[in-house]
Structure 1
Amino acid sequence: MIFKPTDYILFSLLFIILLFYSFPGLSQQSAKLDSLLQELKKPEKDTNRVEVLVHASGLLHYTEKPKAKSYAREALALSTELSYTGGLANASRIMGNIYQSEVLDSALYYYLESLQYYQILDDSLGCIDAYYNIANVYLQLSNFEAAKKNQLLCCELAEKVNNHEYLFRAKNGMGIYYIGLGQYQEENKDSLAALESYREAIPFLSEAAQHAASMDKHSEYYKSQAYGNLAYVKTALGDYDTALTLAMQMLKTYKAYGYTAYYPISYSQIADIYLKLGNYRQSIVYASTSLEWSSETDNLYAMSESYEILYKAHKAMGNYKEAVLFGQQMFDLSRKILNKEREEQIAQMQTKYDTKQIAQENKLLKKEAEIAEISIKKQRVYVVLTSGLMILIVAITLLIYKNLLNKKHFAKKVQDLQTAQARWFASIAHELRTPLTLICGPVRNIIRDQSLPESLVDELEMVKKNGEQLASRVNEILEVSRLESGKSVVNLQPEDLAVLARNVVDSFQPLAKQQRVALKFSYNVSPVLNIDAHKVTTILNNLLSNALKFTPSGGTVSIDWDFDQASDTSLDIKVSDTGIGIAEKDLPHIFERFYQVSHSQQTQSGGSGVGLALARELALLHGGLITVSSRENQGSTFVLSLPKSLIEEVGDFSASGSYAMEHTYEPDIVMSQKNERSNKPSILLVEDHSDMRHYICKCLGNDYQVIEAPDGRQALEIIREFTPDLIISDMMMPVMDGLNFARKLKEDPKHKLTPFIILTAHANERDKLMAYRTGVDDYMVKPFDAEELRVRIQNLLFNALERKKTIEESLALSDQVQAPTHEEELVKELEKLVKEHLSDSPFSISSLANHAAMSESSLRRLLKKMTGLSPGQFIRDIRLQEAIFFLESHRYKTISEVVYAVGFEDTSSFTRLFKKRFGKSPTAYLETISKRNVGRNITSAGFDND
């Protein structure tokens, strides 16, 4: 149902009580009541009279509460006199129903009494009813824990009974519990928790609808109640199309059965959905109808809801006179409701005290006031003299106390956040181990099959390699969790440090060659240490991995130690690089868990921010320490210091006691060259990850000639030799990232119009806007669909070809060409005009020409020359690009809203053009975005602690 947060729980519960105690109809109730009242004229005081009293009270408690209360009390008294447990149970339930709209504490008391009696009778259906009512009262009292407990007991018992009507009641009640919880969370500004609560309600309400469909009687009626609640949930979640369908079905059922009492709620709900969809005219129609029906029944809350919707709809349409009128009526009605509620509260208070008690209390209060006034007069002089000083002392004390509290609260909040973050990482890591095992294991088995083609084996090797890398990251996170809980065990064994370090260095040799980085290893002695080999290997792996990751091509990474047993108190293993270095302000924080820093020349982001924190913890387990020294743009040196006490023996290699070995791995420099004889379009692929380059090359190799570059700087060197037809570049790369590469490329007139696609793992709005402002033509987020990439490439190449033809034709026809800079400014102004009128569907070629103060023919010549597009294509392409932006930023909740926001008149033509432009339908594109965002941990770009 659609209510304001402060009214929702009360409304929903009254609605459900009405559902189960007033059905099947007012006319039938009236006839039945007459029959019962005739029965009550009989003088017999037996159990039959108790049942008649209970039924009569149940029928009257909405229309004549005093009489209903009188009948229920008589039923309780007579049941007690007769020791009739069934009558006590049913009469207590009716008393609870009567008090539920007056005094919730009293209602809860009677419902608990009814449960006790039903349990004595072993009446399962009665117990279901009692649990259900108790849960509803707790929900109104905002005691969500007790409400959920009793509603779950209701569901459990209903499952045992296996009766569709009671199963419907239990499941529908569970759905309403989550709706009530969501409303409470919305009131307390916890929107994320509220959305989760609404989602929790959906399966229960769906089950309720299924049970309703299975009933023999009144199936459509009960089903409509579940649809109404589902419509509210779908509205809260932003699925307005589904919500509208469900609400319409509910109204249709009410009309079919003539349940006029529910018309105001239904019409108001539909009006609210149309309001959220932006269909203000329909919203006004349904809200007006709701107002008519609620006025007939004097339903103040429904009338207030209708006035509010009418106010908002007229305001949105610019009908300010009508909006002000309905706003005033809404305000007046709110004041009337408030006064009514105050009168009810006063009436309740008056029932607690009789007139004599109130008079006595007033007399005492008056006497106390007189005494207080005399005392105040005597002390006034002292108060005047001391009040200023007292206020000052109190203010200073409060400020100091508040400051201390804030500091304690902040410290606790930071600690709780760090603990929760660590726990979350550990939980995710545990959950990842099983799927990783089920990926890596079968892949290894498949690779062993000798009959597989070599190309498939290469791809499987890539899967295995990246799966093992991910498994390694998972193990590191779990190791951090074990360290934090004190469960990590150090297995100390004698190990030859030179052999261990050489194995680590050798494992990084392929990566160093690939990145064209010189990898050096040297030492003067070969000590045997009493260490945990696995943990020390993890430390060296993290230090070398970081060094290689942030060292550009042509740089050097080295690992070495120079130990003097006579003078040194520790063995210092140094890992140095000539990379980008670390800013001085970040040095104190790099060993903090999950901390990542940014660098002015390095936008690459990666890792979990766990590596260096883990390395430091593992070093501490050995009694050692890791220190760092660094200067920006000059490199970094990490030193692992292990205590001398761990050394068991030192190998002696010569008479002087010193020996040195140096392993230098010079990289193989291979530059892909363009095959001049190839007729395929050429694509320059700029990507620092070799496996990703290999994958994209395989996807595009059949249709295009792909030239590879590992970073933006080398890509610029390649472009000096020839001009590719299209460029695909990663955004995050060492040495020169994709955005800087794009900026430098667009500065060169020769390459300014070359189509440019950015690939990135970052899907945030800021990065995307930055990319488009740089001048890139398209933007795709990893992981991407290969077919979608091919379609986008085809479209961009086609547009580029058309643009080139148009420019050549224009140059051939005209001796004087307008200055390129002026024409570019004109195109930018035209693009700005289209975006300003984006949602204006009548905005056409003539509209654009008029706004630009140009003829349509001049406009066509300009756009054809500068963009290769006709004016219609130009407008359509901007609208489609904005649609992509709206979908990915979730600015609108449904595709229909996006369609109207970008100026298309119907969804079908939008879908057809969208798929032609981007290779996917809007629905499929949204599904891709949703899958991509599951589990994504967005962190700031910077130095990798991994």
Structure 2
Amino acid sequence: MRRLLFLCCLLSSCLMFSQEKEDSLQLELRKAKHDTSRVKILHQLAFTQANTSRDKARESMLKALDIALKTDNDQLKVTSYNHYSNFLRTQSMVDSSVVVSNLALSLAKEINFYKGQATAYSTLGGSYWEKGNFEKSKEYLEKCVALASEIDDKIQIGNAYNVLGAIHTQTIEYTKAMEYYTKAARIFKEAGATRRYILILGNIGFVYRSMDNLDGAERYLLEADSLAKAINDQAARAFSSYNLSIVYRKRGEFDKAIAANLNAISIYKRLGNRKRVAFGQYTMGKIYWEKEEFQQALGYYQQALEISISVDDSVNIGHTHQEIARCFHKLNKNQQAKEHLQKAKAVADGIALDVLSMEVHQSLSQIFAEEGNADAAYTNLLAYTELKDSIYTKEKRELASDIEAKYQNEQKTQEIALLESDKKLQALQLNKRVNERNGIIAFSIVILLLAALLYNQYRVKQKANRKLQELDRLKSSFFANISHEFRTPLTLIQGPIEQLEQHPEEQLSQDTVKMIRRNSNRVLKLVNQLLDLSQIDEGSLKLEPTEGDMFKCLRAACSSFNSHAAQRKIDYRVRIPQTTLWAAFDRDKLEKIAYNLLGNAFKFSEDGATVSFTASYGPPGLEMIVSDTGKGIPQEKLPFVFDRFYQVDGSSTRENEGSGIGLALSRDLVELMDGTITVSSILGKGTTFKIHLPVEEIKSGEDPFIEKPSEYQHEISGSSAFQTGTDERDIPAVLLVEDNTDMRYFIKEQLIKDFKIQEALDGQKGLEIAKAHAPDLVITDLMMPKMDGIELCKRLKTNLHTSHIPVIMLTAKAGQANKIKGLETGADDYLTKPFDAKELLVRTRNLIAQRKKLRERYSGKEKPIDPKEITVTSIDQRFLEQLLKMLEEHYADGAFGVPQMQQALAMSKSQLHRKTKALTDESPGELLRNFRLKRAAQLLAQKADTVTQIAYKVGFNDLSYFTKCFKERYGVVPSSY
């Protein structure tokens, strides 16, 4: 009840709005003094009345045509003819529409009125489409597109594309249909033709519905309904509601389906479109049939039948009789069911509707079988089988009939030829065989064509599925990239703030404040770009031109990169004329285009490369060229660089971060200014972007703008993160591998008090430093150029010289799967950005302390060597086992020392020293000496021999040195042990 009350209120408000507009137009009509104005107002009035009364709309159309024909204005006559023809087509009076359109076309050609010709071609194309003559429809529509393109009549081009989309929809070529509908939608949206845009959205929803993509259909139909509601287009709302009801019915959401269909029926009743009302009642019956509420379904089918009879819709009459019979059958009223089936059969026979006849015979066969009337059931089943065979093998039977006819002809000819000569008889027999062969070939071609059509339909569906999967992949990639883009600057903003919160008495350094400002500007830039893209999609981003000096604006924008170029030793060349180019332009959008393209050029250029910006003005407009000598873009990827969220290098080792929206935004802004942007690139030599903007110079004027620093200006910090020098403190060393300068500076500032910090810009450099200096711990980012964090961790943990070094991995990639992947490579800890700086410090201390405890545990005086207690890294365990086995074999050899250990283990002196020191807190010499002393203590405890003999047995050649070392370790001389 509430739903019905709401619908009533909504409809009454729409009626009031329509009436107000109609009254306003009537008032304007009475005030109009010229025939041209009166005709134009009558056309608007007819369009408004079409939402409430088709009869009134037709009356207004005829009145406008009558006024136009009485004038000497031939263009006005053509326009009126075209409006009336289009109105007739919407009323399903297609033949009359064709006649009127031809009158318009003939007169338009006489007076060379190209716009009138294009409109007539468009209407004729739509009319022949409704008549089912697709070839002729395409012919007229192609003429319309060609002529409308010459005169830049985008509305008629969009109308033609719409009908072409409808043609391909009916021929089940959904990919082509969507291509045309998309083109039409773009044209209507840019032109502000809201009603036509709504129509296209509804058609796209219909295509999705036909492809059983119910979610896509619902999305487009709801958008169309929302826009139609805003402008009170009742016909469009009825169309959307009717199709939504079918979508909901297919989903099994019957309540939604009923509400949507009731809304459509109500609107069609008010518009006087009884045929559409019948469709709505029929669909309502289908809904209740699927709900198995057969009595309710019967009621709606009977209403549909009554209206279909009144509008003489034979097809719907036949199908409705069939559905009513099915309801009576379910309600065990077989007599009434049979009566309606006979009526459906009569309609089907009258209009040669074989499919309906087949369904009628099938239903009759079932009813007679249930009643025990086997003869009648068999008769109808036989008729059903014959019709089914007739429908699905029609082409085959027609071909067979042709062959049979030819055969009969040949037989008669043969009889006549027998009287003439045997030679003619042989020729006729040969001709018969040739015809039979041709018939078989023709039949085979038909079969092959059908197979090709089915295969093509399958390929179309597969292609559509692949496109949807690619769209999902792009969305997922975008969210991953944008998350990474936000997490890094947020970490660099959040960290110092937390530090200040924990230690309010400590002030932030100037470098830290600048770092916070840089990263907050970076976040703001990302947000602004996303908002600009959103506004462009919605069509709400508009140009705000003001007069000013364009060259001065560009010089200011380009100067923002001077300090950045100087720091990186980049040859930055700016060629902008020193003259004044006074014009009306949108300063903000021009600056954004320049910033994005220059920022991109600097980002993908190596230090010492060349970046240039050139601006010039000619009569066509302003031309800008941005080029660099960077690594370039592969030719196969050039067509995609302006696509949103696309990145040429999508791997985790890409050289530069990015969200993939900068170039897309630049292109959209250029197109908003009616300009063009192109790109060319040679791999390894660089990339060039060319922008052309249609600008008209104003000869005089003054610049109202005051130069101000741009929000995109990049600050270069001289922070301590880039300082070099040697740290001589006796504290643990930490290797920091991070490509982001600010992040590296921030982490270093948190750890510098407790640890010596070594820095590396990428994973490859980090691996070299780790091998050369063996730090106590490595902190690495996951995504870095040249070698990512996962590969770095893997190489550290599988290298004998570095496998003992604990690793902490930092990343902006959140999620359990990414964490597990990092830990599987051997990382000892894993932190997600943004992270707590104090947490990083504590985890670093803990990991280094754990390694220290393991070494202390091993170095206990009486603790036997057990490699499994030193480290959990398998490569370290194998190294210790190999080392202990070697000591066990050679400890008695007095000549065996550190050089022999180096040779046996294939390690240099410094490598062996770092490895044993890290794992056991003992140098190789100390390890060998202590092993011999422990073995001597075991032998002394067992009284296996004299002290002198035991000293020689464990590899000591100097008895006094043995006694000294033994006393230092055990506190007593060997003889007293």
TM-score, normalised with respect to structure 1 = 0.40
Specify the structure having the higher radius of gyration (Cα): 2
* Larger RCO (CA under 8 A, 6+ residues apart): 1
- TM-score scaled to structure 2, two decimals? 0.39
